[in-house]
Amino acid sequence: MIDLNQVLDQTKEVAKRAGAFIRKERQHFDLNKVEEKGLNDLVSYVDKEAEKIIVENLSQILPEAGFITEEGTTAEENKEYTWIIDPLDGTTNFIHGIPIFCVSIGLQKGEEMVLGVVYEVNLHECFYALKGQGAFCNDTRIHVSKANLLSQSLLATGFPYSAFGKIDEYLAIMRNMMQKTHGLRRLGSAAADLCYVACGRMDGYFEYNLNSYDVAAGSLIVQEAGGTVTDFKNGNDFVFGREIIATNTSIHGELSSELQEIWNK
């Protein structure tokens, strides 16, 4: 019988260990060591080495689990438990010295997320959740905000950097949100965006063209903090469906309607 509470404690330590490595490497990082996986899709040896640290340690914690990883350290495997890992969410921020980037580790059982850990490297904030047990940051329980209306809300989003096919629709959505909310913020890390919704710093977050490892851990943390997470169609395909809306629940219907009105035209 797997003790997920024990697994969570060990996973938090793995995330912090990888975060310490990332923080150390940032002090003398060489821009010449950056590679391009695709258009504006950057990676460095730091991403790859951090992922190796995470995979090696998680393999010892839960040997029976498979992996989905951003940098392909280990192949995707179809098992009961699957780790979904982004070793450095916010690589572009990291490369340019902007201090918002995270280690993100999620654990899926079957098709359900059961554990999520996001470690914000620069603020030393460890957000985490187990299914059905609430959400926490550095051992303090966290909750989503109490904003009741979109007009009272601060939203986070991301800007497309390679998939520009629906950029006009996305710009139209952002134009609407600029006029109907307290404002939009673009942090550059989906994991941080989600955790900021979970702890009430943001009231909602939306983005498209995402990967599972960007949102797996953070989406569970939002839900366990009392929030609602869906795809743009208000469905549940937000981990692998490449689009996500996460809110404090109170504004979810309003934000979802605004997005659908433009996105699905």
Q: Give the CATH number of the domain where residue 96 resides.
A: 3.30.540.10
- The rounded distance, in Å, linking the Cα atoms of 233 and 160 is 19
- The rounded distance, in Å, linking the Cα atoms of 200 and 22 is 27
Among 142, 165, 195, which residue terminates a domain? 142
Both 221 and 120 in one domain: the answer is no
Both 108 and 67 in one domain: the answer is yes
Instruction: Tell me the β-bridge partners of 89.
Output: 102
Task: Give the domain CATH number at 211.
Answer: 3.40.190.80
Both 154 and 238 in one domain: the answer is yes
Both 182 and 258 in one domain: the answer is yes
Total of domains in the chain: 2
Both 231 and 156 in one domain: the answer is yes
pLDDT in tens, the chain (265 residues): 899 999 999 999 999 999 999 999 888 877 666 776 554 445 678 888 999 999 999 999 999 999 999 777 665 566 899 999 999 999 989 988 999 999 999 999 999 999 999 999 999 999 999 999 999 999 999 999 999 999 999 999 998 766 667 788 889 999 999 999 999 999 999 999 999 999 999 999 999 999 999 999 999 999 999 999 999 999 999 999 999 999 999 999 999 999 988 887 6
Question: Encoding tokens for residue 259?
Answer: 């997005």
User: Which domain does 80 fall in, by range?
Assistant: 4-142
Both 205 and 229 in one domain: the answer is yes
Both 186 and 248 in one domain: the answer is yes
Q: What pLDDT, on the 0 to 100 scale, is given for residue 73?
A: 64
Both 198 and 80 in one domain: the answer is no
Q: What pLDDT, on the 0 to 100 scale, is given for residue 40?
A: 41
Among 142, 175, 207, which residue terminates a domain? 142
Both 112 and 155 in one domain: the answer is no
For residues 125 and 25, the answer to whether their CB atoms sit within 8 Å is: no
Give, in order, the Cα–Cα distances in Å from 129 to each of 11, 20, 107, 176. Answer: 11, 21, 11, 33
Q: What pLDDT, on the 0 to 100 scale, is given for residue 161?
A: 67
Both 52 and 135 in one domain: the answer is yes
Question: Encoding tokens for residue 13?
Answer: 């330590």
Residue showing tokens 């995707």: 76
Give the list of residues 6+ apart from residue 69 with CB closer than 8 angstroms, or none.
51, 55, 83, 85, 87, 213
Residues in the chain: 265
Both 84 and 211 in one domain: the answer is no
Q: In which order are the strands placed within the sheet that holds 135-137? A: 66-69, 81-89, 102-109, 112-120, 125-130, 135-137, 140-142
Residue showing tokens 């309607």: 257
Q: What pLDDT, on the 0 to 100 scale, is given for residue 39?
A: 46
- The rounded distance, in Å, linking the Cα atoms of 168 and 73 is 36
Which alpha helices (DSSP H) does the chain contain, by range?
A: 4-26, 45-61, 91-96, 167-180, 190-198, 212-224, 252-263
Instruction: Tell me the β-bridge partners of 205.
Output: 156, 246
